[in-house]
Amino acid sequence: MSTEVSDLSPTASLRRNFDELSPETTDDVEKKKLLWGVPVPPFVSERVVSWIEEGLQEPAVFFKDTLVLKKVENVRMIDRYNSKNASIGTLYLTATHLIFVDPEANKETWILHMHIATVDKLPLSTTGSPLLIRCKTFLSVTFVIPKERECHDVYVTLQKLCQPVHIKNLYCFHYTSSNEDLPKTAGWDFFRLETEFKRMKVPCEQWSQCTLNQNYELCDTYPRQLYVPTEASTAVLMGSSRFRSKGRLPALTYLHSNQASICRCSQPLSGFSARCLEDEQMLEAIRKTNPNASYMYVVDTRPRINAMANRAAGKGYENEAFYENIKFHFLGIENIHVMRTSLQKLVETCEQKTPTMSGFLSSLESSGWLKHIRSILDTSNFIASAVDKGISVVVHCSDGWDRTAQVCSIAALILDPYYRTIKGFQALIEKDWLAFGHKFSERCGYIQTDPKEMSPVFTQFLDSTWQLVQQRCDAFEFNERFLLTLHDHVQSCQFGTFIGNCEKDRLDLRLSETTFSLWGYMANHINEYINPLYRPEMEESLKPNLAPQCIRFWRGMYSRFESGVHPREPLGDLLLASRDHCTSLEDHVQHLTKRISNLKNLISKSARRFQGPSVKDNKEKEEINDNRYNYDKKSGQLTDTTDHPLKSTDFSFSNLSVSETKEEVKGINAEMDSVAVDWKSMRNVTVCSCSTPFDQFSRKSHCWKCGEVFCSRCIVRTVPLPGHDSGNPVPVCRACFRSLQQTTP
């Protein structure tokens, strides 16, 4: 049995690479030798070190503490929106990034090697040799290098670095998270398959956990924990697994509250006439778990003609004559090769130098991309509506790890509001993409592999999700940046989360010990992904409108680098900032109101003590507390301590005792200093004070104490502000955090 299963493994070639791998421990990294008398940074692998030693005789060059493998001066960078005004600067290649520095514009462009999809040498021009770099993030940029020889060097180096031969040279094994202050363990234990099924109230009377795959004996690309009908015997499970491509038997992936379920599997090995009694019993057992319907659907996501062609290879689809009580449907999503070509055409559409309206539209049309997105949504919606009506569905495509993953997860997203939360969406990816074995390594081309295995299957899943978000922005907790971050980090290999092709691969690679988890990183940045329009009380299935005019081109994904000089401010970010600002001010008002009533008590107490009149002073103070005073001020003077309405000079404690006065004034000053009344506008802020430029991708954040705009790296801590009544911790910048620590003992 076990040999048979391992022969079925789709990852044989990748496995060979895994077997050669012995991930470096921290000790190894620390023991690393010196290169030209300088300690080699930990992210530079041994391989790169020896390669540099062999290849280069020149002394080491560094860029901001990072060892530079190659440096080329007088390079011109041309992006297609700016072809007339090329920037001129220096190109650096480090072990992990390509960095272009334009000293005149004070601008740095960083491209992660793992993000590079293709490098092409273009015909020589009068200014030098152009190198066109296309990224998996849909950035495309041309560098013109003066000398042909140097251009060739850069070309060869990039080829080596952007798609390593060995999996251990992927970025995640060298990434050190120096900016994040995160332990390596963060995020790896966020999602457990058992927990997710427990949430769906599984196991239950109808569904049990199957122990046959504890060591991946039944199917090595499936998770160890499988949930199957309680009624299905071991013989039925094993028989059904043998009759399914790659052993991927029908297993539960989603149970709705009405007992209708979604099960997923691969195509049956039915050929033209073969049948398998156990497989037929398996499907009948699944149907019976739902007592409310006399039949169930079997959905083959492929076009009918593809499924028919597969019969010649001994595969195919279920014969309705053999399977009782099923209704069989073909739903016509094209295969990975069609999708790969479609994305290539879409990229070309977005790269047109001076697109005319008809040129753009006809190119978009001929890419077929929107049609494919719609067919995925259409199939998912068919499944979701069936389940919503109380009818269970069994879904498969060929191997059940591409189209099946897409439609099972989108259907669940339509049905279950939990999956529309940040945590729920991540749990959905963990279940339907990671546990059930989507071949991320091959589909995204992490290491050198058959280019025909690459396909934008996960990108299409994100695109389909985005289409739903467009239609119902109040139903999703997350924003567009959340989807883009997921997309880019699936490609970046910075985290171990998506490395490998299935759960077994990730265990074999010991990724949870040797790499960081994307979920830990995202939890650290959670406020960047919040959709301010989300209404969590919406507990219902979505009813997406899939009319052709509702399917849209996702400019924020495929054309996001066209924004030009000024970065865009997403509306959601502005809304969030306004909301935060209001929260801060209300909290401050609350605090000041209490303060004033305390002061009144104090003053009347002291008035009694001195028997002097103080009522007039008190009145004046209240009148001054008027925000109009502040609205006229310029934002540049924000930090000036005289700004606060309560800080006018005639604010007097002359009637109090000296010690009381000092104490009060000191306290009130600190409290008023601690809350910014005005917040700087996010508009036209192009650079953070730490000199990190804001691009269309980075979130701008306010410091609640000084009201200035910072990048997310500069907002280091959340602390309670003395001027807030609630005592809730709020984000502050580094400088403000330090000053707060000095004033509060």
Place of tokens 């309560």: 646
Location of structure tokens 């980090």: 489
127: tokens are 């200014």
Query: Nearest approach, Cβ of 736 to Zn ion (angstroms)?
Result: 3
Q: Stretches 345-353, 515-523, 595-603, 726-734: which one binds Zn ion (CB under 5 A)?
A: 726-734
CB of 726 to Zn ion, least distance (A): 19
- Residue 733 engages Zn ion in binding (rule: CB under 5 A): yes
Rounded Cα distance, 645 and 630, in Å: 7
By CB atoms closer than 10 A (0-12, 13-18, 19+), residue 327 is: middle
Contact, 378 vs 299, CB < 8 A?
A: no
- 203: preceding bond cis by omega (within 30 degrees): yes
For Zn ion, the closer of residues 611 and 684 by Cβ is: 684
Comparing CB distances to Zn ion, the nearer of 384 and 688 is 688
Stretch that binds Zn ion, among 287-295, 471-479, 515-523, 705-713 (CB under 5 A): 705-713
| CB of 706 vs Zn ion, minimal distance in Å | 3
The CA distances from residue 701 to 46, 141, 638, 714, in Å, are: 39, 29, 17, 9
Residue 417 or 723: the one with the smaller Cβ distance to Zn ion is 723
Question: Which residues have a catalytic role annotated?
Answer: 397
**How far is residue 54's CA from residue 645's CA, in Å, rounded to a whole number?**
68
# residues contacting Zn ion (CB under 5 A): 10
Angle (CA) 414 522 469, round 5° = 25
Q: What does the per-residue mask of binding to Zn ion show for 637-676, with x meaning CB under 5 A?
A: ----------------------------------------
* Smallest separation (angstroms) from Zn ion to the CB of 670: 15
Q: Does 74 bind Zn ion (CB under 5 A)?
A: no
State the Cα–Cα distance between residues 364 and 352, nearest whole angstrom: 11
Place of tokens 């990975």: 336
* Phi and psi torsions of 71, nearest 5°: -130, 130
**Binding of Zn ion by 101 (CB under 5 A):** no
Applying CB under 5 A, the span of 139-147, 216-224, 394-402, 730-738 interacting with Zn ion comes to 730-738
The structure tokens listed for 116 are 């590079």
For 637, counting Cβ atoms within 10 Å of its Cβ (0-12 exposed, 13-18 middle, 19+ buried), the class is exposed
**Which of these ranges, 73-81, 139-147, 483-491, 690-698, lies near Zn ion under the rule CB under 5 A?**
690-698
Based on the shown chain and the rule CB under 5 A, indicate whether residue 705 belongs to the binding site for Zn ion: yes
Determine if 706 is a binding residue for Zn ion (CB under 5 A).
yes
Q: Measured from the CB atom, is 140 or 692 closer to Zn ion? A: 692
Asked if 685 and 708 touch (Cβ cutoff 8 Å), the reply is: no
Least distance (Å) between residue 183 CB and Zn ion: 23
Among 465, 438, 441, which Cα is nearest to 454's? 441
Quick one: 524 or 541, whose CB is closer to Zn ion?
524
CA-nearest of 196, 199, 200 to 256 is: 200
Kindly state the smallest distance separating residue 687's Cβ from Zn ion, in Å.
9
- In the bound state with Zn ion, the residue whose beta carbon lies nearer, of 90 and 527, is 527
Rama region for 462: left / alpha / beta (φ>0; ψ in -120 to 50; rest): alpha
Q: State yes or no: residue 714 binds Zn ion (CB under 5 A).
A: yes
107 secondary structure, DSSP code: E
Q: Tokens at residue 102, please?
A: 């334009």
Taking the least distance from each CB to Zn ion, the nearer of 110 and 328 is: 110
**Contact assessment for residue 427 and residue 191, using Cβ atoms and an 8 Å cutoff:** yes
Work out whether 703 is an interface residue with Zn ion (CB under 5 A): yes
Please give the full DSSP string across 295-347, using - where no structure is assigned: -EEEEE-S-HHHHHHHHTTT-----TTTSTTEEEEE-----HHHHHHHHHHHH
219 binds Zn ion (CB under 5 A): no
Based on the shown chain and the rule CB under 5 A, indicate whether residue 740 belongs to the binding site for Zn ion.
no
CB closer to Zn ion out of 339 and 711: 711
Q: Which of 162, 688, 709, 740 binds Zn ion (CB under 5 A)?
A: 688
CA distance 480 to 570: 9
Please name the residue that has the structure tokens 């009144």: 600
The least distance separating Zn ion from the CB of residue 632, rounded to whole angstroms, comes to 23
What's the closest the beta carbon of residue 581 comes to Zn ion, in angstroms? 14
The region of 116-124, 339-347, 376-384, 712-720 touching Zn ion under the rule CB under 5 A is 712-720
Closest to Zn ion by CB, 432 vs 671, is 671
Q: Does 232 bind Zn ion (CB under 5 A)?
A: no
386, 493, 656, 711: residue in contact with Zn ion (rule CB under 5 A): 711
Shortest approach of Zn ion to residue 714 CB, angstroms? 3
User: Is residue 202 near Zn ion by the rule CB under 5 A?
Assistant: no
Region of 121-129, 220-228, 393-401, 709-717 interacting with Zn ion (CB under 5 A) = 709-717
Segment interacting with Zn ion (CB under 5 A) among 378-386, 391-399, 495-503, 734-742: 734-742
d(CA 423, CA 435): 16
721 binds Zn ion (CB under 5 A): no
Q: Which of 699, 702, 698, 731 is nearest to 716 (CA)?
A: 731
Can you tell me which of 618, 692, 698, 739 binds Zn ion, judged by CB under 5 A? 692
- The reply on whether position 736 binds Zn ion by CB under 5 A is yes
Closest approach of Cβ 104 to Zn ion, in Å? 22
Of residues 413 and 675, the one with the C-beta less far from Zn ion? 675
Does residue 105 bind Zn ion (CB under 5 A)? no
Note whether 690 binds Zn ion by CB under 5 A.
yes
Selected range binding Zn ion among 63-71, 456-464, 623-631, 692-700, rule: CB under 5 A:
692-700
In one-letter notation, the amino acid at residue 135 is: C
Whose CA is closest to 96, among 439, 429, 494, 433? 494
β-pair partners for 77: 87, 143
Q: Which is nearer to Zn ion, 99 or 387 (CB)?
A: 99
Cα–Cα distances in Å, from 146 out to 58, 89, 118? 20, 12, 21
Tokens of 22: 């012995």
Nearest of 186, 194, 262, 243 to residue 223 by alpha carbon: 194
Number of CB atoms found within 10 A of residue 189's CB = 11
* Residue placing its CB nearer to Zn ion in the complex, 426 or 485: 485
Question: Please, what is the minimum distance in Å from the beta carbon of residue 59 to Zn ion?
Answer: 32
Report the alpha-carbon distance of residue 567 to residue 562 in Å, rounded.
Answer: 10
CB of 721 to Zn ion, least distance (A): 11
Tokens standing for 6?
């391992």
Interface positions with Zn ion (CB under 5 A)? 688, 690, 692, 703, 705-706, 711, 714, 733, 736
